[in-house]
Amino acid sequence: MAKPFPISPKHPERICWGCDRYCPASSLACGNGSDRTMHPAEMIGDDWYLHGDWGIDPLIAVVQIAEDPDPQG
């Protein structure tokens, strides 16, 4: 079973997102080792899952947004 794909990881630059292994960027275990696959949030922005068909359950995304604290009050 595949690991759930994180919508908003804290440090996406530290991990290769190319497969289910989520290798550290400095130690790639698969592929040719040339470079890591970036997380969609790094390329598209924090709302990346709202655009396109990513196969992510929309309820999970909505719950995560609802639980996000509001810094303005």
pTM of the model: 0.67
Q: Are 18 and 37 in contact (CB under 8 A)?
A: yes
Q: Are 20 and 31 in contact (CB under 8 A)?
A: no
Per-residue pLDDT reduced to its tens digit, 11-66: 999 999 988 888 898 888 887 667 889 999 999 998 888 888 887 765 555 555 55
Q: Are 38 and 57 in contact (CB under 8 A)?
A: no
